[in-house]
Structure 1
Amino acid sequence: AKIHYRAQLHITPDDADVLLDYGDLLVELGEQDLAKHQYRKALKLAPANPGPYLSLGELALDEGKLEEAHRMLQMALRLDADSPNAHATMAQVLLRQERVQDAAKHLVAGLKHCKDDPAMLQEYSRILLDAHLTRQANNVLKRLVRISPRDANAWHNLAVTHFRMDDLDEGINVCRKALQLQPEYPLALYNLALAHLKRGETPEASLCVDEGLRLDPANEALQDLTRQLNGRSGVLSRLRRRLSGLWPHKGQ
């Protein structure tokens, strides 16, 4: 792929879009410095294009350079105020800066322009879950499962939002839907076990844990849950605390 892009740039060295695509490939290959060089070349060629600013902002965020990321994303949004990618990335920067209210504004703005793009909705739901904006994440995930009804990860993360809101009945039903679509899903079994335990349903929880360990014998969270089920003290009080931090599926 690198050879292809180099050949293309030899033919059209002033093509900003090719430079951006080449930069994205270099990021995937772990060559961030070379990627940054391509993005900056694209920026010089097309200063009115929001793409180079967005790419440089994303790269700065990955490197932990929050002020630089914020500056680049501001420029991207100045050029394209409706960009869901730019709003999502800006929200991540603001969350890292502990500016949750400002991040929420960008998430709301970006969601208006996501339409029915499953990848974009998945990204927004992940950010909302990380920010503990649970009800908003619930709404996004409901949209996602409507357009991607066979996405087990989306159903599981929707279940997590219900669990976090103490809607255990609906959460359990939705989590079972995820397991129907993907039976070999230890994380869903773990969260389902926690929900059953919070309802005092120890036999059902044990079945979930046993199945999870059959699939993933080295899973430390499930092993810990087994020890608790086998008689460690304080099970329910610890579980109530842990339910507030149920683990969503993070995706790729």
Structure 2
Amino acid sequence: MDFQAKNTDEFIVEMQGRLRDNDGCGVTHYNLGSAYVAKGRYVEAEAEFLRAVECSPTLVEAFVQLGGLAMNKGDLDGCLEYNERAIKIRPLFAVPHANVGFVHLQRGEADKAIAALKKAIRQDPKFVQALSSLASAYFMQGELDMSMDYSKKTVEIEPKFGPAYNNMALVHMERGEYAQAKECLDKAVETGFTPHPGMVRELAEKLSA
């Protein structure tokens, strides 16, 4: 759910009013939690999402949101658990599969990440975050051609997706193609993406050598 700053506070008041009349509506708790996320009120958001799944145990989106909040706290186990619960309820929902893949990627478990991310892409072939993460997972495995292929697929769908250009730069650097790496890194920066300072420094050193 998208919120604009000017109406989020009004929406929160409206949802709070609805819950005073009917506290057992899971969707209303979910909507209120989403508004709290938009305002950065994460503790309150978590409480609302927990209440949402208590009222509506099959409300998949609430489990996904809880997983996202867990990830933000660095709780990878919690993120994995909530998204796996979402998958059990709705196996064909791409987002929790992708989130499971993100967790495995964070843990350095490339094989598991690839398996989960492919499930996400099977359900949503234009899921750019999943495609780009798949490129990262293949890079982690040293499969540079596969990594580059998925990065290219990502920018074909979303030409301004900075992480994909960053992944392409990493592949070029690994191949010793420093001029091409610089071109890709510049494109990443143009999208607003901020590359790792160590990567920028290493590339500058290679180009000046």
Give the TM bin, normalised by the shorter chain: 0.7 to 0.9
Structure 1 pair 128–54 and aligned structure 2 pair: CA distance change class (3 A):
farther
Alignment partner for residue 125 of structure 1, among 98, 102, 114? Answer: 98
What amino acid does structure 1 have at the position aligned with 2:176? T
Q: Does 1:192 align with 2:168?
A: yes
Residue 90 of structure 1 corresponds to which residue in structure 2?
Answer: 66
Q: Does the 8 Å contact 2:131/2:151 carry over to 1? A: yes
**TM norm structure 1:** 0.62
Residue 57 of structure 2 corresponds to which residue in structure 1?
Answer: 81
Alignment partner for residue 208 of structure 2, among 231, 237, 241? Answer: 231
Residue 246 of structure 1 corresponds to which residue in structure 2?
Answer: none
Alignment partner for residue 202 of structure 1, among 158, 176, 183? Answer: 176
Residues 79-131 of structure 1: CA deviation (Å, up to 9, x unaligned)? 1222221111112233344433223211111122344345xx2x763586378
Over the matched positions of the two proteins, sequence identity in percent amounts to 14
Structure 1 pair 50–182 and aligned structure 2 pair: CA distance change class (3 A):
closer
Q: Does 1:28 align with 2:42?
A: no
User: Based on CA coordinates, which of the two structures has the bigger radius of gyration?
Assistant: 1
What amino acid does structure 1 have at the position aligned with 2:204? R
Structure 2 unmatched runs, 5+ = none
Structure 1 pair 176–63 and aligned structure 2 pair: CA distance change class (3 A):
closer
> Quick one: distance in 2 between partners of 1:103 and 1:218?
28
Q: Does the 8 Å contact 1:159/1:171 carry over to 2? A: yes
Moved more, 212-221 or 95-104: 212-221
CA RMSD for the aligned pairs? 3.6
> Quick one: distance in 2 between partners of 1:81 and 1:215?
41
Structure 1 pair 175–127 and aligned structure 2 pair: CA distance change class (3 A):
same
Structure 1 unmatched runs, 5+ = 1-23, 233-252
